[in-house]
Amino acid sequence: MSAQHRPGGIVVGVDGSPSSSVAVEWAARDAQMRGVALKIVHVVEPMVTAVEGWSADYAQAQQAWAHEIVEQAHKLAVEASSPDRAERVASEVLHAPIIPTLVEMSKESDMVVVGCRGRGAVANALLGSVSSALVRYAHCPVAVIHDDDPLTTRSPQAPVVVGVDGSPTSELATEIAFDEASRRGVGLVALHAWSDMGPLDFPSVNWAPIEWRNIKDQEEVVLAERLCGWQERYPDVVVHRVVVNDRPAPRLLEQAESAQLVVVGSHGRGGFPGMLLGSVSRAVVNSARIPVIVARLPRRP
């Protein structure tokens, strides 16, 4: 069962960095699984000033480097998927501001894929400026791919993990997670954290106030109800439900240690109107060592 797709398929932004190369491989495989086109884009920022005597040479060298980046990325994308996918892999060099350009492209895309850190990122930076901006402003889901844990180190049978809290973006995250798990032929771990105050430890379950025990039972029912329709739509996906009385971010990161993909909403039930990125999605996309999809709904003008 497949989700509806936009005309633009999947867009992957490249810049020649190691993180970018891993992002291309992941995007190519995901596009193949979805049966959609892949577009490789390298955006060159316009020169702010032109210095006489070297600006023309610099521009020429920059153009040559840009085309080399997309050619290498195109080759990598075809190798990561299959030769018969070559005609569905396009590449383009654009001369424009990077972030606004990718945000604009996201309006017609299924998903935008980027590496966690670009070529100019500080070595120890958690998230680069481009990936950080896209998970805040894009009009479609954004996949952030980390290069510190190569994709080949994870078992192809490792599950997909999704955070479920009942918010609109969480519902989209759940749909994406089921679809990704179904296409990969793997299980799904659906985690619901019902406390934002950290774990509530009692000497024993019987010692805890009856209200707290009831809350956990109620939240398990809530999670089951949130997943029911999707389990009917994707009967091939085996779901493992996890309900915890803890903050969601650390528990999602814990589950990510044995998963191949994490999907989160851009902002959850505690987000206020106009919030661009929630604390949970920010923590997960910064700290997870595996691909993270941030589910974003189209933004109103």
Q: Are 24 and 12 in contact (CB under 8 A)?
A: yes
Instruction: Quote the pLDDT of residue 4.
Output: 52
pLDDT tens digits, one per residue of 88-109: 999 999 999 999 999 999 999 9
Give the integer Cα–Cα distance in Å for 117 and 98.
14
Give the integer Cα–Cα distance in Å for 44 and 41.
10
pLDDT tens digits, one per residue of 178-191: 999 999 999 999 99
Give the integer Cα–Cα distance in Å for 221 and 210.
17
Give the integer Cα–Cα distance in Å for 223 and 281.
19
Give the integer Cα–Cα distance in Å for 20 and 113.
9
Which whole number is the average pLDDT over 123-147? 82
pTM for the full predicted model? 0.86
Other beta carbons within 10 angstroms of residue 95's beta carbon come to: 14
Q: Is the pLDDT of residue 277 over 70?
A: no
Mean pLDDT estimate for the chain: 83
Which whole number is the average pLDDT over 74-97? 92
CA 98 to chain centre: 19
Which whole number is the average pLDDT over 276-287? 82
Nearest to 193 by CA among 255, 272, 275: 255
Q: How far apart, in Å, are the Cα atoms of 25 and each of 21, 76, 97, 292?
A: 7, 7, 25, 15
Tokens of 57: 């040479």
